[in-house]
């Protein structure tokens, strides 16, 4: 009787444990993840083989390679001397002959929502003016042995000029100026002995030298533009 009762008690316990285990397994059952739709984050991406071009003054052509996931692209120039044409591989850019100063334009390439610019800078057709620099008077100017000053009128096609003395006894009053300005040079009193010095006058890349000489002849100073 006792054994039968014990078995009867165990059966409900087994059933309860089995039911609980079944619930646990159901609660933690594996559910396969559903495949999500593929997304293309590169749509609208755009890469150009070059973003600058510096052609010479003559007519010229350049091909720009376009790399993009978009199926098509467009190209537009912001000036009439540049022509942009879409090709299978990218964009063909043409420039006309330049007959004036240097000029800059832009070609904008667009693919989807992305865009890139190609900056085109064409060289000038104007020849650079050769720099000039002269002083007046060109003849020697005598200064008494006690010292004194001389003046030169400086003419140049450059924005300005600079004068630097290379001798301690020769001084430049106004070391900078523009074309038409007067350069004033002051010499210390002479020593009665021969001595030389120079002033370097520069305008752009042009340079001339004003040579200063004291000669022991009649005790005079002479300044000569060379």
Instruction: Give the CATH number, domain containing residue 58.
Output: 2.60.40.10
208 and 141 together in one domain? yes
Range list of H helices, the chain? 2-27
Total count of domains within the chain: 2
31 belongs to a structural domain: no
140 and 212 together in one domain? yes
Asked which of 20-34, 96-110, 157-171, 211-225 is least confident by mean pLDDT, the reply is 20-34
137 and 179 together in one domain? yes
Residue ranges making up the domain that contains 149? 133-225
Q: What is the pLDDT of residue 56?
A: 96
**What 3-state class would DSSP assign to 11?**
helix
Q: What is the pLDDT of residue 60?
A: 98
Strands ordered across the beta sheet of 74-77:
52-53, 114-122, 103-111, 74-77
158 belongs to a structural domain: yes
pTM of this prediction? 0.47
pLDDT of 4 strictly over 60: no
Q: How many CB atoms lie within 10 A of CB 194?
A: 11
Stretch 131-144: mean pLDDT: 75
């Amino acid at each position: 009787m006792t054994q039968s009762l014990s078995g009867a008690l165990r059966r409900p316990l087994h059933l309860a444990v089995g039911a609980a285990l079944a619930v646990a397994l159901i609660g933690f059952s594996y559910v396969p993840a559903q495949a999500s739709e593929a997304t293309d984050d590169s749509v609208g991406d755009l890469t150009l083989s070059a973003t600058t071009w510096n052609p010479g003054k003559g007519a010229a052509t350049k091909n720009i390679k376009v790399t993009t996931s978009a199926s098509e692209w467009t190209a537009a120039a912001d000036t009439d001397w540049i022509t942009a044409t879409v090709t299978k591989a990218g964009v063909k850019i043409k420039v006309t002959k330049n007959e004036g100063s240097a000029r800059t334009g832009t070609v904008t390439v667009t693919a989807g929502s992305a865009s890139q610019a190609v900056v085109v800078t064409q060289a000038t057709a104007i020849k650079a003016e050769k720099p000039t620099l002269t002083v007046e008077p060109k003849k020697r100017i005598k200064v008494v042995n006690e010292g004194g000053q001389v003046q030169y009128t400086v003419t140049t096609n450059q924005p300005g000029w600079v004068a630097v003395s290379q001798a301690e006894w020769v001084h430049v009053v106004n070391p900078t100026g523009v074309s038409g300005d007067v350069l004033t040079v002051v010499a210390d009193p002479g020593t009665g002995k021969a001595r030389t010095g120079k002033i370097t006058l520069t305008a752009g890349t042009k340079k001339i030298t004003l040579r200063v000489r004291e000669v022991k002849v009649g005790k005079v100073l002479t300044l000569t533009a060379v």
